[in-house]
Amino acid sequence: MKKLSKRNIVIGAVVATTLLVGDMVQGQTLLVNDWYAQAPNGTSISNGDSSTATLNYGDTGNVTNAAQTYFWSYFVPNASPVALTDGMSLTFSSSLEVDFVSASSRTINLRFGLYDSSEPRATTASYGTDRIGTGTENRGWTGAFTITGASDLYRKNDGNTAAYANSVGTSTTTLTDSADDQTFDDGVALDFSLSLSRSGDDLLFAGLLGASNSFSGTYTNYFVTEPNTFDAFGFYLGSAGTGSAAANSITFSDAMVTVVPEPTTLAFFGVGIFGILAGRRTRQSCRHS
């Protein structure tokens, strides 16, 4: 029997809970298949038009740190963002795999979030040594993102012209739970998910990185000043401390976004969704013990 990944369990839990509450609209799944990147020594993106995409670094001898990679994707057509109304939830899920040059350092600081991209869309991959994007590729986005190893949830405010995962000029709120920096096994995929939910004018932020590295937080009155539309997922790969993680490539697999429009499903995000996931793991353990 094929073993379900934690990513599929998360998405399955969302759909299952929607069905349980009665005659309600099931979550809509949007494929993530429109990838772009800004990275040092990066030369190509494999499968940039599919849900599994790889950023291949060029001259690996010069890749001294995997901390300079922006990798982003759009999950809806241009000028057709998802409007997050009261009670709706938007969940991105995928897995991340890093092919390291060596075993010197595999502890990575990750930054990732859901955004509303600026116009015109950034659709040209650019490669260079700039860490935060001097061009227009990543600027002007709004949304919220997290940084592993940090205790804050970052809000990319409307009018902020810094790169989408740059904390300069952002406002923050304390995370209830925050994810630690992640140590990767070479070539082993790590499942993760990220959910934004709306409750009135508040933004609820929750996610899971790996087996048990969860994070959550709330931005009170977020939608009083910020747009409620989203069309992009943005990821930044950084180093932890003084590490110098050198990578040949990074791969996202089976990336998707799920939109759940029913208010009654809101409680299953954040704390509730992790309870469902934990219960599934417990039952699997019992069956195999």
Identify the three-state secondary structure at position 20. Answer: helix
Place of tokens 């709120």: 173
Overall CATH class of domain 6-288: mainly beta
Of the chain, the end-to-end C-alpha distance in Å amounts to 16
Kindly report the CA angle at 175 between 242 and 158, in degrees rounded to 5? 90
Mean pLDDT along residues 133-150: 76
Domain limits, the chain: 6-288
CA distance 108 to 105: 8
Check pLDDT > 50 for residue 268.
no
| Most confident of the ranges 18-32, 92-106, 262-276 | 92-106
Whole-model pTM?
Answer: 0.76
* Whole-number Cα distances in Å, 106 to 71, 159, 183, 185, 248: 19, 35, 5, 7, 13
Cis peptide before 263 (omega within 30 of 0): no
- Mean predicted confidence (pLDDT) in 238-245: 52
Strand partners, 196: 90, 205
Q: Which residues contact 131 (CB under 8 A, 6 or more apart)?
A: 67, 68
Q: Which residues pair with 222 in a beta bridge?
A: none
